[in-house]
Amino acid sequence: MSDLLETDGERLLTAVRALLQRKGVVTEEEIAERRAATDNASPGQGARMVAKAWLDPAYRELMLSDGTKAAEALGIPMRGMPPLGVLENAPKLHHLVVCTLCSCYPRAVLGYPPFWYKSAAYRARAVRDPRALLASEWKTVIPDDVTLRVVDSTADYRWMVLPMRPAGTEGWDEARLTAIVREGDMIGVTIPSV
C-alpha cells in the first residue's frame, strides 16, 4: 500500500512540475536550483558567512547592509526567499532571534529550525524573560550591563545573528573559524567559543 501512495505522490509532483513549467511559472533550471538549495541548506552555510565577515571587513559591511546579497555572494541561492537581515552582536549588545507567531527561520543559511525554536515555550520565554531563558537552557549568561534585544523573525523578513569573534582566534583561517560557529550562535542562544 505504501508503494502505491508513494508512486501516486511522485506522479502528482511530476504533474504539478510539468504544469508549472508549461504555464511559464517556473523553469526546469529553477526547480533544479531550488532542490539544490534545499539539499545544501544547513547551519554550515551561515557559519561560512560569519567566518568570512570576521575576516573581510567589506564582506561584513555587505552582510550587515544586505544579508541576502551577502549569502548570494557565497553562492547560497536566495531567490524566492524573504529578505535576510543580519544583526551584529557587540560588547554591549546581544541579539536573540525568535519567531513569535510560528517558526520563520532563514533556512537557506541555517537549514531547518531546531525543534525547540518552533516550541511555544521558547517563543514565549524569549519574549517574556530572555536572560533567564538563555541562562537556564543554554548556560549563556548575558550580563545586566549588556542590552539584550529580542528580534522577531517573520514571514516577510528573516534574521540571523553575526556573533562577536571570540578572543584567541587571531590568525585563524576561514575554515577554522567556520568550524567553531554553531547554529545557536547565529540565533543568539549561544556565544562562539574556542
Q: Which pairs from 165-170 meet CB under 8 Å and 24+ separation?
A: 165/54, 165/192, 166/191, 166/192, 166/193, 166/194, 168/194, 169/54, 169/194
What lies within 8 Å, CB to CB, of 67 at 6+ separation is: 83, 84, 85, 86, 106, 109, 160
Helix, strand, or coil (residue 94): strand
In whole angstroms, give the CA distance from residue 20 to residue 41.
24
Q: Where in the sequence numbering do the catalytic residues fall?
A: 99, 102-104
